[in-house]
Structure 1
Amino acid sequence: MRNRTLEQYMKEHLSFYIFVGVIFVTGVVFGAVMVNALSLEQKQEITRYLGNFFARVQQGALEGDITGSFKDSFSMHIKWVLLIWILGLSVIGLPLILILDFLKGVLVGFTVGYMVGTMSWQGLLFALVSVVPQNLIIIPVLLVCSVTAMAFSIHLVKNRFVSRNGSIYEPFMRFCGVSVASTALFVGVSLFEAYLSPVMMKWVTPMLAALHLA
C-alpha cells in the first residue's frame, strides 16, 4: 500500500521535481559564472574576509560559542522553510518559491565556485568539509518543501477557479507535515554545523595558511 502511494506520489509530482531541480542547477551554474564577473577589488575584499575567517577557525573561535552557532544556523534554515510555507499558501507565491530555489543555487554555486577558482584543490577540500556535507540534506529538503508548496498552491487554484468540490484538508495537512518534518531535519543539520563542522574546518585550515589569504 505504501509503495503504491509513493509510486502515485512520484508520478504526480515528478515533473515538479524535475522543474525545480533544473531551476536550482541553473542557479548553481549562474553563481559559479558570477565568480568570473567579479572585479579585482571585489575579489580582494572577499579574499580578506576569507583570510580573517580562516584565522578565526584556526584559533578555534567557531568552537567557543556552540549555542550561538546552533541558534544562528537553525534560525537561517527555518526562515527558508517558513518563507516557502507562507508562499505556498497563496497563489501568487508560486513564482517566488522558484526564485528562492534559484537564489539557493546561486549561493551554493558562488561559494564553491569562488573557493575552487581562488584556492584550487585546497578550496575544493575546504568546500567539501564546510559546504557540501550539510547541503546534502539542506538542498533535498528545500526542494521537497518547494515541490509540496507548489503542489498545494496549484491545488488551491484548481479548487477555487476550476472545481469547487475538492477538499484542501488532506493536501494542507501533507503540506504542513512536510514543513514540520523539514524543521526536525534542520535541527539535526544545525547541530552538525555547530558541533562537527568547525572541527572539520579546523582540520583543513592549516593547508590554506600557505595561500596567504589574510
Structure 2
Amino acid sequence: MTWLRQSLKDQLPLYVFVAVLFLVGVLFGALMVNALSLEQQQDLAGYLQHLFVSLGDSGSDAPPDFRSIAVLHIKWIGLIFLLGLSVIGLPGILVLDFLKGVLIGFTVGYMVGQYAWKGLLFALVSVVPHNLLLIPVLLISSVAAMGFSLYIIRSRLLSQKGGSLKKPFAAYAGVMALMALLMLVAASLETWISPQMMRWVAPLLLPS
C-alpha cells in the first residue's frame, strides 16, 4: 500500500479536515436527539420495539438484501467521484461527509438516550461492524475527490500552463474503483454480520 502511505503523507491536512468535519457531524447528530418532539420519540420507540421483536424471532424476517445495500454504498462512492470531477462539487463532498456523521451520531445518541447501556450495546453491534470499514473508505474517497478537484483548480484556473489530466485522473479513478470494491465488503458485513449480532442483543431491549 505504498500509494496509501504517500497519500496520507501528502494530503494529511485534508484527512484531518475531513475527519474533524465527520466528528462534528457525529456530535451534531447526537445533539439532534434532544430536538425530537414527543410524538417523534414515540414513533421511533414504536418502530424500534417492532424491530426488536422481529430480530428476536429470527425466522420472522428475511435477511437484508445484499444487492440493495451494495448499490446504495456504490452510489455514495459514485456521487463523491462525480463531485470530485468539478470545482463546484467540492462543497458537496463536505456536505456528504457531514451528513454521514450526523446519521451515525443520531443513531447512537438516540439508542443511548432511550435504553442506556443496552442501547449503547445495540448501537455498537448494529453500527460498528460495517462502519469500521465504511468510514475509512469514505474518508479516503472524499480526500481523493477533494485532491483531484484542487488539482483542477491549480492546473486549470490558477496556472497559465494547464498540465495533462490523464495521469491524475487515472490515479483518481483507480483509487475510487478500489474504494468501490471495499464498499462491497462493507455491504457484506452489513448484510450478514451486523444483523446476526443485532439478533443476539435485541432480546435485552424487549420489555420483561
> Could you tell me the TM-score, scaled by structure 1's length?
0.90
- Corresponding residue for residue 180 of structure 1: 177
Quote the Cα distance in structure 1 between the aligned partners of 2:125 and 2:74.
Answer: 22
Quote the Cα distance in structure 1 between the aligned partners of 2:63 and 2:57.
Answer: 13
Quote the Cα distance in structure 2 between the aligned partners of 1:189 and 1:8.
Answer: 24
- CA separation of 1:76 and 1:6: change in aligned 2, threshold 3 A: closer
Quote the Cα distance in structure 2 between the aligned partners of 1:189 and 1:62.
Answer: 25
**1:85 equivalent among 60, 77, 81:** 81
Q: Is the 8 A contact 1:21 1:143 kept in 2?
A: yes
Asked if 1:206 is matched to 2:203, the reply is: yes
Deviations 1:43-76 (A, max 9, x none): 111111111111221222686345xx20121111
Quote the Cα distance in structure 1 between the aligned partners of 2:106 and 2:199.
Answer: 22
Deviations 1:22-42 (A, max 9, x none): 110110000000001111111
Q: 1:137 corresponds to which letter in structure 2? A: L
* Structure 1 counterpart SS, 2:167: helix
Q: Is the 8 A contact 1:24 1:105 kept in 2?
A: yes
Deviations 1:148-200 (A, max 9, x none): 00000011111211223422122211211111111111111111222222211
- Structure 1 residue 97: deviation in Å? 0.4
Q: Give the superposed CA RMSD.
A: 1.8
Q: Is the 8 A contact 2:26 2:101 kept in 1?
A: yes
- CA separation of 1:7 and 1:142: change in aligned 2, threshold 3 A: closer
* Structure 2 counterpart SS, 1:196: helix
Asked if 1:155 is matched to 2:151, the reply is: yes
5+ residue gaps, structure 2, are: none
1:23-34 matches, cutoff 5 A: 23-34=21-32
Q: Is the 8 A contact 1:63 1:198 kept in 2?
A: no
- Corresponding residue for residue 55 of structure 1: 53
1:12-51 matches, cutoff 5 A: 12-51=10-49
Q: Is the 8 A contact 1:62 1:198 kept in 2?
A: no
- Corresponding residue for residue 189 of structure 1: 186
1:128-143 matches, cutoff 5 A: 128-143=124-139
Quote the Cα distance in structure 1 between the aligned partners of 2:94 and 2:60.
Answer: 33
5+ residue gaps, structure 1, are: none
Quote the Cα distance in structure 2 between the aligned partners of 1:185 and 1:11.
Answer: 22
Q: Choose 11-20 or 105-114, whichever is displaced more.
A: 11-20
Q: 2:70 corresponds to which letter in structure 1? A: F
1:111-150 matches, cutoff 5 A: 111-150=107-146
* Structure 2 counterpart SS, 1:210: coil
Identity of aligned residues (%): 51
> Could you tell me the TM-score, scaled by structure 2's length?
0.93
Q: Is the 8 A contact 2:129 2:190 kept in 1?
A: no
Quote the Cα distance in structure 2 between the aligned partners of 1:11 and 1:185.
Answer: 22
